[in-house]
Amino acid sequence: MAKKTAIGAYGEWAAGLAEDPPALSFRRDEFKSIAPWRKKALAKAMELLAPPPKPALAKPRVVARNEFDGLEAELLSWRLPWGPPAEAVFLKPAGAKGKLPGMLALHDHGGFKYYGWQKIADASPEVHPLVVEHRERAYGGVAWANELAKRGWAVLCNDVFAFGSRRVRYADVIDEAAGGRKDPAEADSEGIRAYNEWCGDHEHIMAKSLFSAGTTWPGVFWREDQAALRYLLSRPEVDASKVACGGLSGGGLRTVYLAGLDHRVKACVSVGFMSTWRDFLLEKCKNHTWMVYTPRLPNFLDFPDLLSLRAPLPALVQSCTEDPLYTMPEMKRADRILKAVYGKAGAPENYRTFFYPGGHKFDLEMQQVAFEWLEERLRI
């Protein structure tokens, strides 16, 4: 009897359609030198990602400034050529002088689209109860962006497409999609929960619409995160030679795409998002957002190959052994893929994977390891 898969008897056939290694993986024998390989692979990845045109670097508006818990916080807003204004928060140690290492902190998905940056950063001591619950589940109860800023980093955390300030409003969609719903107020926990549930049902509509427009969800993510990265690099407090990015879950997904394709990111940490296309195909696609997928990309690069595009630049992956989003065999295979590429690139020391017991999380122990690893690799 054939192994059961997410698409039944078609699973193993579909998993064999792409070559292994895929056509543009650096693991293939025909690729000897990293520079010409990377140029070719990056060009194909960008072609398939099909991001929107690069926007002009918007000058953010400072909405509010605050100082608390030893940090200075700026609440920012900027415009992109599509959608509502984007909010972000910029954090740094109070009274800091000179250049600081920079972190683009990428918020998660978590089935929680009403908020974006607020899930991992604080601009004031007031935190919504639903955010407190989310942090208890995912982050050991802390705003990890603030914890990193306290170590002497300049940290930017932006809302990305379809989250927080960039979320889709009921009032803006056609009646049959909104179903007569009214947009919840910030204090309305019941309304926010209902909104998050509606967003899950709306994802296939968004993804199919983006495909119809000639772009992809990862492409829109990448372009918006790249705009935030450009702003972070422009800040006078930031040492552009020591800029990192990282995040959990959807933030780990965004890390793979951003750090893989934009090498101004000098070190990165992908947490709770590393496996293979085979894992998604055969067993775990039902657990994942439409935001993961770039059509035809698996013919050319496996998912870990995307992150390997940054080799030999440093990359850390943190995974959990009971994470329901992946299978252990495929997480281990992703680790072997990345080790093979970094070894072939002559920089095995610049790639690490750590496995932790438990489920989908970026807890205090994992944060400590990630922060210390980043500081070691960037020589901070």
pLDDT score for 180: 76
CA 87 to chain centre: 17
* Banded model confidence at residue 58, pLDDT cuts 50, 70, 90: low
pLDDT at 123 over 60: yes
Residue 102's nearest CA partner among 262, 258, 241, 226 is 241
At CB < 8 A and 24+ separation, what contacts does 19-24 make? 19/299, 20/302, 21/302, 21/305, 21/337, 22/298, 22/299, 22/300, 22/301, 22/302, 22/305, 23/299, 23/300, 24/300, 24/301, 24/305
E-only strand ranges, the chain: 61-68, 71-78, 86-93, 100-105, 154-158, 238-248, 267-271, 315-320, 351-356
Q: What pLDDT score does 176 carry? A: 67
Global pTM?
A: 0.97
Tell me the mean pLDDT in the region 180-203: 91
Which amino acid, one-letter code, is at 155? V
Mean predicted confidence (pLDDT) in 60-76: 96
Does residue 83 contact residue 257 with C-beta atoms inside 8 Å? Answer: no
Please choose, from the candidates 158, 149, 73, the residue with its C-alpha nearest in 3D space to the C-alpha of residue 117.
Answer: 158
State the average pLDDT over residues 235-250.
97
Asked whether the predicted pLDDT for residue 225 surpasses 60, the reply is: yes
Lowest mean pLDDT among 55-69, 72-86, 213-227: 55-69
> Which residues have a Cβ under 8 Å from the Cβ of 198 and sit 6 or more positions away?
170, 179, 181
What pLDDT was estimated at residue 305? 98
Judge whether residue 177 has pLDDT over 80.
no
pLDDT at position 179 over 80: no
| 97-108: pLDDT as tens digits | 899 999 999 999
Can you tell me the distance from the alpha carbon of 327 to that of 107, in angstroms, rounded to the nearest whole number?
23
Supply the pLDDT for residue 56.
85
At 300, is the secondary structure helix, strand, or coil? Answer: coil
Q: What one-character DSSP code corresponds to residue 218?
A: H
Residue type, 296: R
Distance between CA atoms of residues 268 and 278, nearest Å: 24
Does position 20 have pLDDT exceeding 80, yes or no? yes
Task: Give the integer Cα–Cα distance in Å for 377 and 372.
Answer: 9
Question: What pLDDT is attached to residue 2?
Answer: 66
Average pLDDT over residues 28-48: 97
Q: Percent of the chain beyond pLDDT 70?
A: 98
Give the pair of three-digit tokens for residue 349: 């020391």
Pairing, β 86-93 against β 154-158: antiparallel
Q: What is the pLDDT of the chain when averaged over all its residues?
A: 95
Domain 61-377, what architecture? Answer: 3-Layer(aba) Sandwich (3.40)
Average pLDDT over residues 303-329: 98
Over residues 212-241, the mean pLDDT reads 97
Rg of the Cα atoms in the chain: 20
